[in-house]
C-alpha cells in the first residue's frame, strides 16, 4: 500500500505540562521539564498540520476507502493523521472492528440509540493492538531492533502478536500476577517474557530503565506519546461507522451534501492508566478540528471503585492523581499510579463528560447483559464501560434520547475465570434422556 504523498502531516510534539514544542524525532518519549518519576511526567501530544489536511483531503474519501481509492481494512486508512508511514506498520491488519447496534441492550439501558464498538475483535483481542502497531512502526523508522513494554497484559499481547507478524523482537515486563491467558499469548507469539515479582508500577519502571540501558524502543503507556495516536483511530472508525449506520444527515461543512462522519452524544470507556480515553478524545477532537464533525461527544471514563485514582483526581480538581492501592477484578484497569492521567482528565473536562465509578460486582455482572443482549463477550474491563453507562443512567447523566457508544476494549476469552464467576457452571448429568428431562425441571 503506497502513501500517495510521502509527507507526514505530523509537525511535532507539544508538552502538555510546560507547552514546549519539539520537532518530530527531536524527543521520543517525555519532556524533560518534569523529574522522571511516577505519574508526574512531561507528557507529549502529537500535533499535525490540520489546515493542510483540510486543504488537501476530502472527507468522503475517508469513509469507504482509505488511501486515495484503495480499500483498506486497517488503521492505515487514517494515514494523514498517523505519526508513522504506512509501509512501517506491521502486516497484521488492526482496527476496522464492528460497531454493533443491539436494540435489546438499548432497551435494557433505556436509551434510543446504543452502539457497541467491539474492539475485542482485534488480532490479539483488545484495543491495545491499535497502539502497538504504531510502536512497532515507530521503532522500525528509528532503527530500533527490539521493542519492549511493561503491561498488565493486553498491551503486551498486542505488541507480541504484531511484533511476530513484522518479525520484530519484543521484550515484555509483566507483573507476575498477570492473568494466565494473557501471559500465554505472549509466549505463544514468541516474546521474551519477564514476569516481575512486583507490581505493574515496578514492571513499568524496570522497563524504562532497561530500554535506556539496552537501547530498546519503549512502548510503555503514558510514556510513549505515540500510543495515543494509535488509540485515537477507534474514534475515527466510530464516527465513520455511525455516519454509515444512520445514513445521510446534515453535513458539518465542506458541502459534500452528505456527512462522512457523525459524532455520538456520549462515549463510555473504561479507564486504568487513562491512555485509551485520552486517545478517544484526541480522535474526536481532531475530527472536530478538521470540521468533519459538529461537536466532540461527551467522554465518560469508567473506573472501578477498587481502582479509582483518576476519578478521584477529577472529583477533587487535581492535576496529578494520588496513588491508590488498586485491587479490582478487572485487571486491565487496576492501576496504582496512572501514567496518562493528564490526557484522561483533559478528555473528560474538555468534552463535558464525567468519570463514573462502578463496584467490581457491578462490573462483573455487566458481562452478562453485554453478552446476552449485546452479543459481545467482553473481559471485565470491557464490561466496565457498560456498568458505567448503567451507573450514569441512574444518576441522570445520560438522557434517553441520546446516541451512546460503549467501547468494549477486550475479549472475554482473556479472562475466563471472571466470566464463569458470574455465568455459573454447567449442570453435570449422566448420559441419559431422563437426566435431561430432570434438569429442565430444576
3-state secondary structure of 14: strand
Which C-beta is closer to ligand PLP: that of 126 or that of 132? 126
Taking CB under 6 A as the binding criterion, the range among 56-64, 102-110, 204-212, 266-274 that sits at the site for ligand PLP is 266-274
Please pick, from the candidates 67, 224, 307, 409, the single residue that binds ligand PLP as defined by CB under 6 A. 409
Packing angle, helices 275-289 and 129-141, rounded to 10: 80
Q: How many CB atoms lie within 10 A of CB 255?
A: 5
Q: What is d(CA 130, CA 153) in angstroms, rounded to the nearest whole number?
A: 15
Of the two residues 66 and 388, which places its CB atom closer to ligand PLP in the complex? 388
Q: Determine, following the binding rule CB under 6 A, whether residue 332 of this chain makes contact with ligand PLP.
A: yes
| Nearer of residues 120 and 163 to ligand PLP, judged by Cβ | 120
Number of residues that bind ligand PLP (CB under 6 A): 19
307 near 328, Cβ under 8 Å? yes
Asked whether position 379 contacts ligand PLP by CB under 6 A, the answer is yes
Task: Verify binding: residue 410, ligand PLP, rule CB under 6 A.
Answer: yes
Which CB atom, from 126 or from 185, has the smaller least distance to ligand PLP?
A: 126
205 binding ligand PLP? (CB under 6 A): no
Residue 27 has what DSSP assignment?
-
Given 162, 196, 263, 333, the residue binding ligand PLP (CB under 6 A): 333
Based on the shown chain and the rule CB under 6 A, indicate whether residue 331 belongs to the binding site for ligand PLP: no
- Residue 185 as a binder of ligand PLP (CB under 6 A): the answer is no
**Phi and psi, residue 127, nearest 5°:** -65, -20
Dihedral (CA of 306, 221, 99, 59) sign: positive
Helix, strand or coil, per DSSP, at residue 374: coil
* Residue 273 near ligand PLP by CB under 6 A: yes
Task: Tell me the three cell numbers of residue 54.
Answer: 483540510
Q: CA–CA separation, 160 vs 347, rounded Å?
A: 29
Cβ proximity to ligand PLP, 74 vs 221, nearer residue: 221
- Interface of this chain with ligand PLP, residues 346 to 365, rule: CB under 6 A: none
- CA separation (Å) from 83 to 48, 131, 141, 325, 365? 9, 11, 11, 35, 39
**Binding of ligand PLP by 97 (CB under 6 A):** no
126 is a contact residue toward ligand PLP (CB under 6 A): yes
Bridge partners (DSSP) listed for residue 370: none
Answer for which of 374, 382, 388, 412 binds ligand PLP (CB under 6 A) is: 382
| Residue in 175, 230, 272, 334 binding ligand PLP, rule: CB under 6 A | 272
Q: Which of 271, 280, 306, 329 binds ligand PLP (CB under 6 A)?
A: 271
Q: What whole-number distance in Å separates Cα of residue 88 and Cα of residue 74?
A: 13
Near ligand PLP by CB under 6 A: residue from 302, 381, 389, 406: 381
Count CA atoms closer than 13 A to 416's CA, side-chain side. Answer: 5
DSSP 190-252: T-EEEEESS-HHHHHHHHHHHHHHHTPEE--TTTSTHHHHHHTHHHHHHHHHHHHHH-S----
Select from 72-80, 175-183, 269-277, 348-356 the region that touches ligand PLP (CB under 6 A).
269-277
DSSP per-residue string spanning 257-290: SS-S----SEEEEE-SSSHHHHHHHHHHHHHHHT
* Residue number, 12 or 375, with CB nearest to ligand PLP: 375
The residue within the footprint of ligand PLP, chosen from 270, 307, 351, 373 (CB under 6 A), is 270
Least distance (Å) from ligand PLP to the CB of residue 37? Answer: 19
Alpha helix ranges (H) inside 317-396: 341-351, 360-365, 367-372, 380-394
Nearest distance in Å: CB 378, ligand PLP: 8
Strand partners, 194: 173
Nearest-approach distance from CB 121 to ligand PLP, in angstroms: 12
- β-bridge pairing 146-150 and 266-270: unpaired
Residue nearest to ligand PLP (CB): 410
Determine if 154 is a binding residue for ligand PLP (CB under 6 A): yes
Binding site for ligand PLP (CB under 6 A): 126, 128, 154, 221, 270-277, 332-333, 379, 381-382, 409-410
Amino acid at each position: 500500500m503506497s502513501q500517495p504523498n510521502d509527507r507526514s502531516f505530523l509537525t511535532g510534539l507539544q508538552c502538555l505540562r510546560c507547552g514546549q514544542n519539539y520537532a518530530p524525532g527531536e524527543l521520543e518519549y517525555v519532556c524533560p521539564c518534569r523529574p522522571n518519576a511516577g505519574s508526574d511526567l512531561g507528557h507529549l501530544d502529537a500535533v499535525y498540520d490540520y489546515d493542510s489536511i483540510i486543504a488537501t483531503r476530502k472527507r468522503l474519501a475517508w469513509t469507504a476507502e482509505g488511501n486515495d481509492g484503495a480499500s483498506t481494512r486497517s488503521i492505515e486508512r487514517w494515514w494523514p493523521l498517523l505519526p508513522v508511514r504506512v509501509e512501517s506498520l506491521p502486516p497484521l491488519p488492526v482496527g476496522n472492528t464492528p460497531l454493533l447496534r443491539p436494540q435489546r441492550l438499548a432497551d435494557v439501558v433505556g436509551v434510543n440509540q446504543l452502539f457497541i464498538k467491539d474492539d475485542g475483535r482485534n488480532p490479539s483481542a483488545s484495543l491495545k493492538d491499535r497502539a502497538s502497531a504504531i510502536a512497532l512502526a515507530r521503532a522500525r523508522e528509528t532503527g530500533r531492533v527490539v521493542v519492549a513494554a511493561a503491561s498488565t497484559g493486553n498491551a503486551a499481547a498486542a505488541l507480541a502478536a504484531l511484533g511476530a507478524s513484522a518479525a520484530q523482537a519484543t521484550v515484555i515486563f509483566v507483573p507476575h500476577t498477570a492473568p494466565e491467558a494473557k501471559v500465554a499469548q505472549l509466549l505463544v507469539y514468541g516474546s521474551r517474557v519477564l514476569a516481575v515479582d512486583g507490581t505493574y508500577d515496578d514492571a513499568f519502571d524496570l522497563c524504562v530503565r532497561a530500554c535506556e540501558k539496552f537501547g530498546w524502543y519503549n512502548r510503555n503507556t503514558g510514556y510513549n506519546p505515540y500510543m495515543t495516536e494509535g488509540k485515537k483511530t477507534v474514534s475515527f472508525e466510530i464516527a465513520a461507522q455511525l455516519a454509515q449506520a444512520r445514513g445521510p444527515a446534515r453535513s458539518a461543512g465542506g458541502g459534500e451534501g452528505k456527512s462522512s462522519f457523525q459524532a455520538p452524544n456520549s462515549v463510555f470507556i473504561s479507564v486504568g492508566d487513562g491512555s485509551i480515553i485520552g486517545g478517544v478524545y484526541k480522535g474526536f477532537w481532531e475530527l472536530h478540528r478538521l470540521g468533519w464533525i459538529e461537536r466532540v461527544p461527551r467522554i465518560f471514563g469508567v473506573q472501578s471503585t477498587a481502582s479509582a485514582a483518576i476519578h478521584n483526581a477529577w472529583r477533587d480538581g487535581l492535576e496529578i492523581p494520588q496513588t491508590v492501592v488498586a485491587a479490582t477484578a478487572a485487571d486491565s484497569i487496576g492501576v496504582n499510579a496512572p501514567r496518562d492521567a493528564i490526557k484522561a482528565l483533559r478528555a473528560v473536562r474538555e468534552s463535558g463528560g464525567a468519570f463514573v465509578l462502578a463496584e467490581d460486582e457491578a462490573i462483573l455482572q455487566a458481562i452478562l447483559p453485554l453478552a446476552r443482549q449485546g452479543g459481545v463477550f467482553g473481559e471485565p474491563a470491557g464490561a466496565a464501560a457498560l456498568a458505567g453507562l448503567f451507573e450514569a443512567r441512574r444518576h441522570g447523566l445520560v438522557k434517553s434520547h441520546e446516541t451512546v457508544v460503549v467501547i468494549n476494549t477486550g475479549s472475554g476469552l482473556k479472562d475466563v475465570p471472571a466470566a464463569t464467576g458470574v455465568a455459573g457452571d454447567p449442570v453435570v448429568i449422566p448420559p441419559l434422556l431422563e437426566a435431561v428431562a430432570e434438569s429442565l425441571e430444576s
